Amino acid sequence: MASQVETPVKQAASPGCLTDNLGWLLGQAEHVLAAEMSARLEPLGLSSRRYCVLASAMTGDHTQIELANLIGLDKTTMVVTLDGLEADGLAKRMPSSRDRRVRVVKVTEAGERRVAKARKVIEATQKEMLERLPAAERSALLAGLTRLVCGARDTNGSAP
């Protein structure tokens, strides 16, 4: 079941009045990357969101709300996403070993295999996208974006 990915309309040049607008530039970059990522992850039965939930859940015993805060999802979206992951046999909610009243999200073996495959797809996609830039600019872009995002999280106390 292949989906049609909407790609941005190609223009001869970007609007000059927006090329110094960080929000517009980040939005356009995110749109291009998200469309490509969606098309490549779909055959694995994953979306970027589902991948982020699974990969983050593999880092430790996290509750739904902890995962939602960790990756920047609202509670309702997290519940719907986890419901789908459970239905597909990729994750399950289990009682915490520290507090049986609390449920933590555990990734199943099938989920772990899916994350491993998706990680390769994501790495290849990101590499292809970043290769559009000279090597020094790639490093600077990633370092700068990391500082922007981590700084926003530190300031706000949660994901942006």
Q: What's the pLDDT at 124?
A: 96
CB 85 within 8 A of CB 54: yes
Query: Please, which pLDDT band fits residue 10 given cuts at 50, 70 and 90?
Result: low
d(CA 76, CA 83): 11
Q: What's the pLDDT at 157?
A: 53
Segment 21-64, tens digit of pLDDT: 889 889 999 999 999 999 999 999 999 999 999 999 999 999 99
d(CA 66, CA 78): 10
d(CA 117, CA 153): 29
Query: Please, which pLDDT band fits residue 9 given cuts at 50, 70 and 90?
Result: very low
Q: What's the pLDDT at 4?
A: 47
Long-range CB contacts (within 8 A, 24+) of 110-119: 111/54, 111/85, 112/58, 114/44, 114/45, 114/46, 114/54, 114/90, 115/51, 115/54, 115/55, 115/58, 117/44, 118/41, 118/44, 118/46, 118/51, 118/55, 119/55
Q: What's the pLDDT at 15?
A: 74
Q: What's the pLDDT at 155?
A: 60
What residue ranges define each of the domains in the chain, with the CATH number in brackets?
46-152 (1.10.10.10)
The predicted model scores a pTM of 0.77
Q: What's the pLDDT at 99?
A: 85
Segment 99-155, tens digit of pLDDT: 888 899 999 999 999 999 999 999 999 999 999 999 999 999 999 999 988 876 666
